[in-house]
Structure 1
Amino acid sequence: MRIIKNLPIIIICMVSLACSKEDSTGTDDQVETGKPLNLAPSTPVLISPEKDLECSNSSLNFEWETSIDPENELVKYFLEISEKEDFSNLFKNLETSYTSVSIELEKGKKYYWRVVAHDEKFKQSEYSEIRTFFTEPKLAFNAIPQNPHSEIPQNNSVQSASQIDLNWSCEDEDGDLLTYDVYFGLNNPPQKYLENIENPEVSVSLETGKTYYWYIVAKDPKDARATSPTWKFETQ
């Protein structure tokens, strides 16, 4: 009779022990199988070509900012170029560990481009914004200016002066008078510093111990445009 009276208590104790064991096992399994969460790299930020650019050269330089991986893993990029806005048919799908690459393009086309980053475990970032650009059409009445070339200072050089002149050169097959927008500053990409200047030279003041970035947009009277690569130099 005593056993029968204590039977409910015994059953409750057995159920409690079983639950405790299951809970403990579940926790142990989570500890044993738990792995650090792999986070995706930051979304690439496009630099050049700028949006709606009309480019004159069949070879165009594509550039974007470095993506940061939270686990400091090696980051690679996929550059996608397409004639379709939904990227259903890719003209180019290039994997690279660099943040700048030159691509040969077809004349008279409208292209869309974007970049996505992934880490060593192929954890993928969000896609960058989508930009469009146009290659020079096969028309004779107006040639787009050639891409500006840096003269002074040399790219990746070190400067010690507190003020220097930025010099560049640019040609137009039609002989049109060109004007220039100058992008210059401490950020990459730099902000617009001057616009619609006619002389391919501008004087800038510098601070010591800084890295400066700059590029040029050349424009003809019909507003056909060409953009240089982004150059940089350091001061000491």
Structure 2
Amino acid sequence: MLACSSPSTIDPDPDTLDPEAPSQIERLTVNLQFPHKDGLCNIGADITPTQSTVIFEWEASEIAESYTVFVTNLVDGTSIQQDSNEDKIGIVLDRATPYAWYVVSKRGTVTAESETWKFYNSGPGVETHAPFPATINAPAMAASVNSGNVTLRWTGSDVDNDIASYDVYLGTNNNPDIHAADVTASALNVSVTSGTIYYWKIVTKDAVGNTSMSGIFQFRVL
């Protein structure tokens, strides 16, 4: 386990903290520590064969008064939100399940959000793990783009580091058909028509046939 320390309560006063000052927001923002980014979490107190308590840890901000931890189940989309006055907290999670998490630190009315990390909560008898759902980079949700060509960009990650390829789904309805199969890059240039809303998603495939699906994103062509 990583060492931790309680956040201090030093000046500035929360009423004078300027949310527009980058240096102050940087001091308020925390760095995540555990569970590790894109890692396999096999440290926790097992409650049942299907659940375990995972201890989330981050570096304490020297000016934060409290923290809120947000954890999202990447299979069913459900979220957990828990508050803490320290730089760690135990949360009961499903085993053999991928998650994403981040921490919002607070002082007065000012808040700062950490990076978001994904991890896989280990389960009994699991030898291979499905890839994490791809992170959509561009176009962002509900973005507007120029007509002609647009480059779809995403980021894939996997505990086993064995991503083989991606299937790209793209279309003008909210359940798009496959547009390109077995793409090995994490970007694809596509032709788009002016005045149209497009929907797209990425299915990530690993070397042993496990798959995961990103959410469905949309963008408008000007």
Q: What TM-score, normalized by structure 2, do the two folds share?
A: 0.47
Structure with bigger gyration radius: 1
Q: What TM-score, normalized by structure 1, do the two folds share?
A: 0.44
Q: Which is strand-richer, 1 or 2? A: 2
Q: Which is helix-richer, 1 or 2? A: 1
